[in-house]
Amino acid sequence: MAKQERAVRTRRLILEAAGAVFDEFGYESTTIAQILARAGVTKGALYFHFASKEELARGVLDQALTLEGILPQESRLQEWVDVGMVLAHRLPAEPLLSASVRLSADRKARDLFGTSWPAWIDFIAGQLAEAKAQGEVLPHVDPGATATLFVGAWTGVEILATAHDESGALEKRIALLYDTFLPGIAVPGALRNLDTSPDRGARVWKLHQAQHHARQEEAAAATA
């Protein structure tokens, strides 16, 4: 493995450990020693990448809003559904995502670093505004207020689902969140064609991974 690639992996390993420990104990109670123990790296390696607990938390939050995996769709509402469903699919398996939700909800961490919410709200407000421009959204719906509401609701539904820990619970509950929100947001014609089944996130993510892999192979073949 090239030296640089190894550094990238170590950095990610440390962030994942930090995410898991922040997630479990909260920002304030977490110590660097706990993160070191979880990551299984040396103190030198950790401090090479991150000077302090604050920097570790910022690193986790920077990974937060990943919109990777959203494929373009004719319906902007379907893309909005896909954002929340792909995240619901990925979160239980990715400690960095779940830690960033937790850090945003942690009052102490939030006062220090802000949250990943504003970027997420802006993104969804943009999707809803585009959906409205192409006639998919009811006239009285305010894209900004609805995006803020949705990000809050998504976050709370995730917190409760994680607290109760059934497998697949998050995808089912987020699917129900969309099914409950959509009749208040979408025009009936747009509603009919939306796919909000609980496995939507898994399918979109799998397709995205396959396309990503194919592009990588193509690039490798081109340089061979």
Nearer to a copy of itself, 100 or 146 (CB): 146
One-letter-per-residue 3-state SS of 173-208: HHHHHHHHHHHHCECHHHHHCCCCCCCHHHHHHHHH
Cα 216 to Cα 6, 10, 35, 70, 193: the distances in Å are: 19, 22, 33, 18, 33
In which element (H, E) is residue 159 found? helix 143-164
- Paired tokens of 69: 């995996």
Q: Which of 8, 37, 51, 159 binds a copy of itself (CB under 8 A)?
A: 159
Q: Which of 184, 213, 217, 219 binds a copy of itself (CB under 8 A)?
A: 184
Question: Least distance in Å: CB of 85 to a copy of itself?
Answer: 15
Question: Least distance in Å: CB of 51 to a copy of itself?
Answer: 22
Residue 54 interacts with a copy of itself (CB under 8 A)?
A: no
Residue 155 interacts with a copy of itself (CB under 8 A)?
A: yes
Residue 179 interacts with a copy of itself (CB under 8 A)?
A: yes
Residue 43 interacts with a copy of itself (CB under 8 A)?
A: no
Q: Which of 34, 63, 75, 148 binds a copy of itself (CB under 8 A)?
A: 148
Tokens 């607290």 sit at which residue?
163
Nearer to a copy of itself, 30 or 78 (CB): 30
Q: How far apart are CA 50 and CA 32, in angstroms?
A: 10
